[in-house]
Amino acid sequence: MASDSPARPSGKRQDTLDWAECFMAMAFLAAKRSKDPSTQVGACIVNEDNRIVGIGYNGFPKGCSDDEFPWSKTSDNPLETKYLYVCHAEVNAILNKNSTDVRNCTMYVALFPCNECAKIIIQSAIREVVYMSDKHAHKEHTIAAKRMFDAAGVRYTQYKPPHKQIVIDFTEIDWDSLNQVPATPKKDDTVTDEVDMRKLSLKERL
């Protein structure tokens, strides 16, 4: 079988993250900011051009100190549990948006949204939710969320990551040993010979 456009290897990397994997990883990375000792959830909202327009994680509202408000799940006094105060990742991601709105966007989120978040997702016109875990599928708040998503036409799909892990290693790139041309002059250094030469040739041309 003849091919009219033979493959021309460009030498590009093949093992890159695809978009969905990248956005879900962003949600997981945001979750690492959460102070909640039991559940850390992150959410990442992406528009139709694959641009990130909002990221959030579960936490208390601004001004409500993580050191003063309770993170406990149980207490004789409901006022001393987290539930009355915590703002879920989905809501924070929507509120943190850097675009006019999140209409027709997709939300990547670690855990299936609860009914309260589902209401806000629907009202903000997000049209798709991609989630990893559905561990509360049997609970009323998830059943109600799905009922509302179904009625409102919000798609939801469980994400199966192609890799089990994405490792971020800050030492992977040894910036100090990378050669730069021209070398970046250090603040307290005199200008390098190389830069001098460039200046000189520029003057000559003028």
Residues taking part in catalysis: 90
Minimum distance from CB of 38 to Zn ion (Å)? 15
**What x-and-dash track marks residues 120-149 binding Zn ion by CB under 5 A?**
------------------------------
Minimum distance from CB of 47 to Zn ion (Å)? 22
DSSP 120-154: HHHHTT--EEEEEE-TTTTSHHHHHHHHHHHHHT-
Q: Are 159 and 130 in contact (CB under 8 A)?
A: yes
The nearer residue to Zn ion, 39 or 192, going by C-beta atoms, is 39
Minimum distance from CB of 90 to Zn ion (Å)? 6
**What does each C-alpha distance from 130 to 23, 44, 57 come to in angstroms?**
10, 10, 16
User: 9 preceded by cis ω (within 30°)?
Assistant: no
Minimum distance from CB of 122 to Zn ion (Å)? 13
Q: Are 23 and 46 in contact (CB under 8 A)?
A: yes
The nearer residue to Zn ion, 21 or 116, going by C-beta atoms, is 116
DSSP 24-78: HHHHHHHHTT---SS---EEEEE-TTS-EEEEEE-BPPTTS-TTTS---S--SSG
The nearer residue to Zn ion, 82 or 88, going by C-beta atoms, is 88
Footprint on residues 82-121 left by Zn ion (CB under 5 A): 88, 114, 117
Residue 30: how many CA atoms within 13 Å on its side-chain side?
27
The nearer residue to Zn ion, 57 or 69, going by C-beta atoms, is 57
Residue 188 tokens, joined: 């307290």
Q: Note the residues at the interface with Zn ion (CB under 5 A).
A: 88, 114, 117
